């Protein structure tokens, strides 16, 4: 399958640094992964492990800004992390942890908030959208969401943050907060950079909006082949081709778009068949369903093993938290000392 290179060329061309660059990214606990999560983020994360020191975490504190039923969080964490591990995130190579297991991030969030002008937060696009949509349901945590995200990134002193374009304002804000903190309190934080890998905008089964759980238009990556087939058969295809004998417009068909990812050796032929009305939508969907099911077969197997040992996920997260807390403590001590806090304790040594 054609995987657009996950590594930015600038890093590839740079002389090898003394240490590997640190990568950090996170996701809110949304449960099982769908094709949008996979093509947009997860497969990049898996690839980045070869070249960077990676940390990936479940942003459960962040999910509290909008959660309606806290009882859903724990199962959503387990489902998501099982998919991460099945897809190839490797706890031997990467630190994989649960945000709230490293509560140092909450204290750093507090310290960073002192260096964050309110106006910066009020201008964040995701906050403004939320304010427009639910004006009477805005909590302080929502306004502070990007400050917490900055704390996530600055705590492990991440160099690179792989995220989608929609997160660019949050990364820029993280850099500005780091700069302002350093300017006011002393040089503590390196400025991280976003790693905006080329990620496709994956449309949902309805063909008109982005694939997302809240819209109910997803295809689960590790669903059974039968379930994948059922979902794919409901996909909206080329709406301008009412009859099988009409010529198709593969460039406007979501099923054809997905063939580019899952049928790398034959998608061009499939597109041609559509254009010339040699094939019908049902054919193209059937092929897509089996291409997707085949692609994820090894991962489905790994997931079945994880499901058979449900404790594994929690063990992985606990071990990850232990590792994450070491670096977190060092950074937090340096930040506290810079702010003049922690009297009576020796100033921490310099950090790299
Ligand atoms: N805001 C991110 C999202 O919605 C999730 C997130 C929280 C994150 N903290 C982060 C991503 C730190 C990268 C780095 O997708």
Contact between residue 312 and residue 248 where contact means Cβ atoms under 8 Å apart: no
The pLDDT value recorded for residue 1 is 42
Among 22, 23, 25, 151, say which to mutate for ligand 1: greatest number of ligand atoms within 8 Å of CB. 25
Distance, CA 303 to ligand 1 centroid (Å)?
A: 24
CA–CA dist 65, 60 (Å, integer):
9
Q: Does 10 have pLDDT greater than 90?
A: no
Q: What's the rounded Cα separation, in Å, for the pair 38 and 44?
A: 8
Counting every residue written for the chain, the total comes to 352
* Ligand 1 lined by 163 (C-beta under 6 Å): yes
Nearest CA to ligand 1 atom 5: 27
Q: Record the pTM.
A: 0.92
SS3 label, residue 90: coil
Q: Mutate which of 40, 100, 163, 213 to test ligand 1's pocket (most atoms within 8 Å of Cβ)?
A: 163
The torsion angle over the Cα atoms of residues 186, 341, 99 and 128, rounded to 10 degrees, is -70
Whose C-alpha lies nearest to ligand 1, atom 11? 26
What ranges do the domains of the chain cover?
A: 22-202+309-338, 223-295
The pLDDT confidence band at residue 68, using thresholds 50, 70 and 90, is confident
CA gap 174, 216 in Å, rounded: 32
CA torsion through residues 248, 253, 257, 262, sign: negative
Res. 12 pLDDT band, cuts 50 70 90: low
Identify which of 44, 96, 167, 197 to mutate to test ligand 1's pocket (most ligand atoms within 8 A of the CB): 167
Kindly indicate the confidence band of residue 346, based on its pLDDT and cuts at 50, 70 and 90: low
Q: Which atom of ligand 1 is nearest to the CA of 162?
A: 13
Kindly give the number of the ligand 1 atom that is closest to the alpha carbon of 158: 14
Residue with CA nearest ligand 1 atom 15: 27
Nearest alpha carbon, ligand 1 atom 13: 25
Fold held by 22-202+309-338: Rossmann fold (3.40.50)
Percentage with pLDDT > 70 across the chain: 93
- Measured CA to CA, the distance from residue 211 to residue 215 in angstroms comes to 7
pLDDT at 23 over 70: yes
27 Cβ below 6 A of ligand 1: yes
Q: Is the distance from CB of 155 to CB of 102 less than 8 angstroms?
A: yes
**What pLDDT is stored for residue 3 in this prediction?**
44
Tell the residue nearest (CA) to atom 14 of ligand 1: 25
Question: What kind of fold does domain 223-295 have according to CATH?
Answer: Tyrosyl-Transfer RNA Synthetase (1.10.240)
Q: What is the pLDDT of residue 350?
A: 75
Mind listing the pLDDT tens digit for each residue in 271-326? 999 999 999 999 999 999 999 999 999 999 999 999 999 999 999 999 999 999 99
Q: Are 56 and 16 spatial neighbours (Cβ–Cβ below 8 Å)?
A: no
Interval between CA 344 and ligand 1 midpoint (Å):
35
Q: How far is CA 55 from CA 25, 86, 158, 271, 321, in A?
A: 7, 17, 9, 39, 10
Ligand 1 atom closest to Cα of 149? 9
Q: Is 26 in the pocket of ligand 1 (CB under 6 A)?
A: yes
């Amino acid at each position: 399958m054609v995987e657009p290179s996950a590594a930015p060329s600038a890093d590839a061309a740079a002389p090898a640094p003394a240490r590997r660059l640190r990568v950090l990214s996170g996701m809110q606990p949304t449960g099982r992964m769908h094709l949008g999560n996979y093509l947009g983020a997860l497969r990049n994360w898996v690839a980045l492990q070869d070249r960077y020191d990676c940390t990936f975490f479940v942003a459960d504190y962040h999910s509290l800004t909008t959660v309606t039923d806290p009882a859903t969080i724990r199962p959503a964490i387990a489902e998501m992390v099982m998919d991460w591990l099945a897809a190839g995130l490797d706890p031997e190579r990467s630190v994989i942890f649960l945000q709230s297991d490293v509560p140092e991030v909450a204290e750093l969030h507090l310290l960073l908030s002192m260096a964050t002008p309110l106006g910066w937060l009020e201008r964040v696009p995701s906050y403004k959208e939320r304010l427009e949509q639910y004006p009477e349901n805005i909590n302080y945590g929502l306004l502070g969401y990007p400050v917490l995200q900055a704390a996530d990134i600055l705590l492990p002193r991440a160099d690179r943050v792989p995220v989608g374009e929609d997160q660019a304002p949050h990364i820029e804000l993280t850099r500005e907060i780091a700069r302002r903190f350093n300017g006011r309190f002393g040089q503590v934080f390196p400025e991280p950079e976003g790693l905006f890998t080329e990620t496709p905008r994956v449309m949902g089964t309805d063909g008109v909006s982005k694939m997302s759980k809240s819209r109910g238009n997803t295809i689960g990556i590790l669903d059974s082949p039968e379930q994948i087939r059922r979902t794919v058969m409901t996909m909206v295809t080329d709406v301008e081709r009412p009859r099988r004998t009409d010529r198709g417009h593969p460039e406007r068909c979501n099923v054809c778009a997905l063939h580019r990812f899952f049928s790398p050796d034959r998608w061009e032929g499939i597109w041609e068949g559509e254009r010339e009305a040699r094939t019908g939508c049902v054919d193209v969907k059937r092929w897509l369903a089996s291409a997707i099911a085949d692609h994820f077969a090894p991962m489905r197997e790994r997931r079945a093993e994880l499901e058979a040992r449900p404790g594994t996920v929690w063990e992985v997260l606990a071990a990850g938290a232990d590792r994450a807390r070491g670096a977190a403590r060092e950074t937090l001590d340096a930040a506290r000392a810079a702010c003049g806090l922690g009297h009576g304790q020796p100033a921490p040594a310099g950090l790299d």
